[in-house]
Amino acid sequence: MPYIAMARKWRPHSFSEMVGQEHIAQTLKNAITTGNIHHAFLFSGTRGVGKTTSARILAAMLNCTAASEQRPCGQCESCKAITAGLSMDVMEIDAASNNGVDDMREVLEGTQYPPMNSKYRVLIIDEVHALSKQAWYSMLKTLEEPPSYLVFIFATTDPNKIPATILSRVLCFDFKRLSSLQISKRLAFICEQEGIKVAPEALSIISEKADGSMRDALTIFDEVFAYSGSSITAESAQKALGIPPDALYVELIKAFEAHDAKGSFAVLEKATFAGAEIQVFLDGFIRFLRNFLYARLGISAEQLEISQESLDNLKKLAPELDQGDILRISKMIMELSEKCSAKHGLNPRLIAEAEFSKIAWLDRVVNINEALKNISNISNVPLNKENQKKIGSFAGTSSGIGTASTSSSSTRLNI
């Protein structure tokens, strides 16, 4: 049997299958149940979050002769025609390639007549922000006085480019980016249905890389599945996507803990030798540091989508570093990642090495409460000559690791 891309196979066919857009699904369902249908909708949001899919579901629901509250029946003439892309009453156009005034006039001409076989004539215009100003104005009159059977559904990733006169005539829906957890849950469900064995860490890696887009997540999943087969582990997902294994990140954080700049360069060398792009390596490290910090804060393995064993290992990792240190390192790596992605012609590896040296030579953060307690303990001791000497040396600035230097305490407050 030929392999069908997951994004196609698992495209939602009902509002109840829409992940992360429950607020929109509920409003649209209510509109259909009450028959209170607005004549123009605008679906905006980042790519791959379900705008076009929702437009198709809405179009099918409007014309289905046997729709339930949740979904079109999929069996009636209208549903069959829409699924086959043969419906005369539901038209879908891509404004990115049909953005001129003539294109729009032609489309609008077809809307002058009532639907042939259905209740509504639905016009779905994707990437609608790409329409020219003239194309919008040619549509304005129809939008102001639409025939009762006509419904516009516009989809866009850039609502700011849509003229205000149009925005005031459409019902706007803002589609949310999906959280990693929402994507992981959906992928886990699909894997279960498909009989694919998958490690939670692998799902977490895929959903992080998808960056809020369900469609991207499914495309990435296809890539991982093609490499791993029906048993997907964290390692196979990392290999398929060119993401360095966590073992390298463990090595890197230990090098930072030991003030070992040379050791941190060696990790970078290994990652580069294995073919990882610096940017991908750093993004993976940011994810690792986030899990490292969360593990310290007592977040559960389930919430982090990692195994209990990985969580226990993270908790024991680099005990010399405290939460403040991890935060500072995360911040510096995020800035470094930004610097490496900026196109200023500098070699990203050299920038990374310079920043790694800085991190390796950082003073440790000192818990300011501990430091204050120490000071108050000392101030309670009666002053004899010996104690005076001790206080003098404590108050003097020192740059050693773990010392209560004023500079490191103030750095903590700045985080």
Cα distance between residue 299 and residue 305, in whole Å: 10
Choice between 51 and 71, CB closer to Zn ion:
71
Smallest gap from Cβ 119 to Zn ion, in A, equals: 11
Smallest gap from Cβ 110 to Zn ion, in A, equals: 22
Cα distance between residue 341 and residue 330, in whole Å: 16
Choice between 56 and 186, CB closer to Zn ion:
56
Cα distance between residue 206 and residue 240, in whole Å: 10
Residue numbers at the binding site for Zn ion (CB under 5 A): 64, 72-73, 76, 79
Smallest gap from Cβ 117 to Zn ion, in A, equals: 12
Choice between 76 and 210, CB closer to Zn ion:
76
Smallest gap from Cβ 12 to Zn ion, in A, equals: 16
Choice between 91 and 130, CB closer to Zn ion:
91
Choice between 64 and 282, CB closer to Zn ion:
64
The runs of H, that is alpha helices, within 110-176 are 133-144, 164-167
Coil vs helix vs strand at 43 = strand
Choice between 48 and 72, CB closer to Zn ion:
72
Angle subtended at Cα 316 by Cα 330 and Cα 354, rounded to the nearest 5 degrees: 30
Question: 324, 314, 259: which is closest to 288 by C-alpha?
Answer: 314
Q: Are 331 and 321 in contact (CB under 8 A)?
A: no
Q: Are 57 and 14 in contact (CB under 8 A)?
A: yes
Smallest gap from Cβ 72 to Zn ion, in A, equals: 5
- Please, how many CA atoms are within 13 Å of residue 65, restricted to the half-sphere of its CB? 8
Q: Is 351 exposed, middle or buried (0-12, 13-18, 19+ CB in 10 A)?
A: middle
Smallest gap from Cβ 17 to Zn ion, in A, equals: 16
